[in-house]
Amino acid sequence: MNASDPRPRRGMNFLSSVLGGLVVLVIGAGLIATDLIDVGDTKREVVTASPTSPVSDAGSEPSSDEGRSVSDIYKEEGRGVVFVKSQGVTSDSSSRSPFGGQQRGTATGSGFVIDKQGNIVTNAHVVEGASKVAVSFKEDTSDSVPAEVKGRDVSSDLAVLKVDPSKVEGGLRPVPLGDSSKATVGDPVIAIGNPFGFTRTVTTGIVSAVQRQIEAPNNFSISDVIQTDAAINPGNSGGPLLDAQGNVIGVNAQIATGGSASSGGSVGIGFAIPVNTLKKGLGQLKKGGEIQRGFLGVSTTDVTSEVAKQLKLAGEQGALIQQVTRGGPAEKADLKAGKRPTSSGLVAGGDVIVELDGKDVDSSQDLVAAVSAKKPGDEVEIGYQRGSSDKVRTVKVKLDKRPAKAQTQPGRGRGGLPRLP
């Protein structure tokens, strides 16, 4: 642990919802993962939770002067969208099942072909616990091809399946991957998938927001998520969100339910994992592994002007540590968590992380992105403020490998909302 001379920290106002740095999440409106599980004769949605703030729902359709026509994209790229059926799927009360306990049945979702070698992308939760996976390339889903789960990364909710190309009648039709960093609010988008088992259904909308943060099945945060008002429903999980040129910019994963998981349908707020996250880890997933990320071992909440005023902090930006994982890198580096609960549900007294390797950390999402971009064993320099001091201290921290599941416990977030720290 190395500490440098403290130095002043500039202030700036960064407004954000209370989100979980590396672990912490606020549950507002409920989100559900958009696959279907059939247990006996009953179909139900696999439920997840994630942070989001209510936003207005305004939709539009891509027009011909904004890119290719929807019909053209459907005819071409739609042929690369598949129906995924997983047997022996399990879910439990600690992940996404609202019913609790172990459930075994059949899950259906979507996926899309990414190359001629037979690799197919879907969501990790679609094939969770699957003993057998089949993929259909036709409207008739009974005509399917067996698939192998090559790699599955729960932290990003992504998986790669592999089929034998020689068994696919008519050959494979890869869907081109785009650049999610170019997605802009208002851009037209197209979703193709199999909602409620209706194969290759097309819906249109716009990019409603970018840089959202949702919760993965293992309770870690997924950053830079694309929000859309294109109708996404149970069964769309793993399907592509395409731009007006027919390029994949996201992998559809979750929808908001307005606080009622039983509603099960689209309310115009859907979330897609950015394709750039997929591209970064694609090589590891194809080889049968999971994406390796660094782990700091803290849960944090955003520092805003309101939080700074309430807790008497020096600055109005950064990631306020709420909890530190026992035995983790942050604890070993003597980074401190808060100890004084407040009426708002926040815990006062923790260090505020404001820099990582010399780059500003303005929010918890910044911290998530910065640490996730590192590998286990990497050494980083953390800049932080302690107490009400505006001086920035620094400490060297060696990152660990991210555990299989985030350690969470019940709590209360800002505004009385439940929080998973």
pLDDT at 22 over 70: no
- Record the tokens describing residue 397, joined without a space: 């921290």
Q: Which residue has the higher pLDDT, 25 or 296?
A: 296
Mean pLDDT of 22-40: 44
- pLDDT of 416: 29
- pLDDT of 91: 54
Mean pLDDT of 19-30: 34
CB of 77 within 8 A of CB of 110? no
What is residue 196's three-state secondary structure? helix
CB of 127 within 8 A of CB of 86? yes
- pLDDT of 347: 92
- pLDDT of 58: 35
CA distance 396 to 387: 20
30: confidence class by pLDDT, cuts 50, 70, 90: low
User: Nearest-CA neighbor of 191 among 178, 200, 181?
Assistant: 200
> Residues 210-251: pLDDT tens digits?
999 899 999 888 989 999 999 999 999 999 999 999 999 999
Task: Kindly name the residue from 35, 153, 157, 362 that is annotated as catalytic.
Answer: 157
CA distance 205 to 227: 10
Mean pLDDT of 123-145: 92
- pLDDT of 405: 84
pLDDT at 98 over 50: no
pLDDT at 37 over 50: no
> Residues 361-374: pLDDT tens digits?
999 989 998 998 89
- Record the tokens describing residue 222, joined without a space: 């997924």
Task: Respond yes or no: is residue 157 known to be catalytic.
Answer: yes
291: confidence class by pLDDT, cuts 50, 70, 90: confident
Query: Residue 140: how many CB atoms within 10 A of its CB?
Result: 10
Mean pLDDT of 267-296: 93
- pLDDT of 12: 32
Which pTM does this prediction carry?
A: 0.74
CA distance 247 to 45: 28
pLDDT at 351 over 80: yes
Strand-pairing partners, residue 381, are 396
- pLDDT of 141: 81
Task: Kindly name the residue from 95, 136, 156, 237 that is annotated as catalytic.
Answer: 237
Task: Respond yes or no: is residue 57 known to be catalytic.
Answer: no
CB of 64 within 8 A of CB of 52? no
- pLDDT of 60: 40
CA distance 132 to 226: 31
Q: Which domains, from first to last, does the chain contain?
A: 7-22+296-420 (2.30.42.10), 31-284 (2.40.10.120)
192: confidence class by pLDDT, cuts 50, 70, 90: very high
- pLDDT of 389: 92
Phi and psi for 280 in degrees, rounded to 5?
-65, -35
Mean pLDDT of 56-60: 36
Task: Kindly name the residue from 95, 125, 144, 299 that is annotated as catalytic.
Answer: 125
**What's the chain's average pLDDT?**
81
